[in-house]
Amino acid sequence: MEGKGSPAAPGKTAPKLQAEDLHKSFGDKVVLDGISFSVASGESLVIVGPSGTGKSVLLKHLIGLIRPDSGRVFVAGEDLWALSHIERNRARKKFGMSFQEGALFDSMSVFDNIAFPLRRSGHPPRQVRERVRECLEIVHLPNVEEKRTSELSGGMRRRVGFARAIAHEPEILLFDEPNTGLDPIMTEIIDEVILEMREKMKPTIVTITHHVESARKIGDRVALLFGGKLLYDATPGEFLKAQDPAVRQFVEGNAQGPLTRDFEMSAR
């Protein structure tokens, strides 16, 4: 069928996740202006950028929460928006997504949150119980099953969100600002948890963050998103040493530079 096949060669070389010339505007504000990249199976891509540049919007395109104005997203070779509604939901089961503030279902206990995807796909209760316990161990949060989500601290909410995202053993993990708004110690712990999950499950990972240090630790590749485009895409080592002025400004955290000049101009 037209549009369904991946443009890349089929088989092992096909990337797990691929974005092809994504464009998205909200009203007259252009958020994504021709974004293309691909992530190989088992690879970890980190997308960094200043706040408000559309990082979350980009991440939500990858799992089909937002439909691009033009361009395509391929998940394991399947064009997400060429699929039927039902097939798209099936494709989404390959994903586990962790949201910025956790996005836990606040009408449910921690246990029910993590059990949610398992119950929806019809796992028997005993299996559900075991898997929930397993997932909570992976994120280092034993014995919180019966807590209400409102009783959890910010770091705990993120980790319960991780546990829910990995419960159905997805092949692709998406992290939306996993350590924004957390103290330095918790930031470190979250990074460690992500690395451990990587070790254990070998998933394909896309993370968005504005922590350069986290990006260095958890990414095989780091890319800078600004002005609706991916400005730079390289290994963490190269990224940190890059001479590109925008990258330099972001890495060094300067107030003056190409990133903020654009911002000031658009703000005027």
Partner 1 sequence: MTRILEAIGRVVLRVFEEIGNFFSMLGRVAVWAVRPPYDLAELMRQMVRVGYDSIPVVFVTTLFTGMVLALQTFNGFARFHAQNLVGSVVALSLTRELSPVLTALMVTGRVGSAMAAELGTMRVTEQIDALTALATEPVQYLMVPRVSASILMLPLLVIMGDVVGMYGGYLVAVQLLGANPVAYIDNSFQYLHVKDDVVSGIIKAAVFGLVFSLIACVRGYYTTGGAEGVGRSTTRAVVSGSLSVLVVDFFLTKLLY
Q: Does 95 bind partner 1 (CB under 8 A)?
A: yes
What are the C-alpha distances in Å from 40 to residues 80, 92, 169, 206? 17, 18, 18, 11
Angle between helices 125-138 and 184-201 in degrees, nearest 10:
130
Backbone angles phi, psi at 150, to 5 degrees: -70, -15
60 near partner 1 (CB under 8 A) = yes
101 binds partner 1 (CB under 8 A): yes
Question: Cβ distance 60 to 66 under 8 Å?
Answer: yes
- Residue 159: count other Cβ atoms within 10 Å of its Cβ: 26
Of 5-13, 98-106, 215-223, 243-251, the segment contacting partner 1 by CB under 8 A is 98-106
**Stretches 61-69, 202-210, 235-243, 252-260: which one binds partner 1 (CB under 8 A)?**
61-69
Taking the least distance from each CB to partner 1, the nearer of 89 and 235 is: 89
Give min distance, CB of 117 to partner 1, in A: 5
Instruction: By CB under 8 A, tell whether 116 contacts partner 1.
Output: yes
**Tokens found for residue 27:** 């009203």
Stretch that binds partner 1, among 42-50, 88-96, 185-193, 255-263 (CB under 8 A): 88-96
**Which is nearer to partner 1, 73 or 251 (by Cβ)?**
73
Instruction: Look up residue 49 and give its amino acid.
Output: G
- For partner 1, which residue of 54, 117, 178, 228 counts as binding (CB under 8 A)? 117
- DSSP states of 24-46: EEETTEEEEEEEEEEE-TT-EEE
Residues in contact with partner 1 by CB under 8 A are 60, 63-65, 85, 89-90, 92-93, 95, 97, 99-101, 103-106, 116-117, 120-121, 164, 168
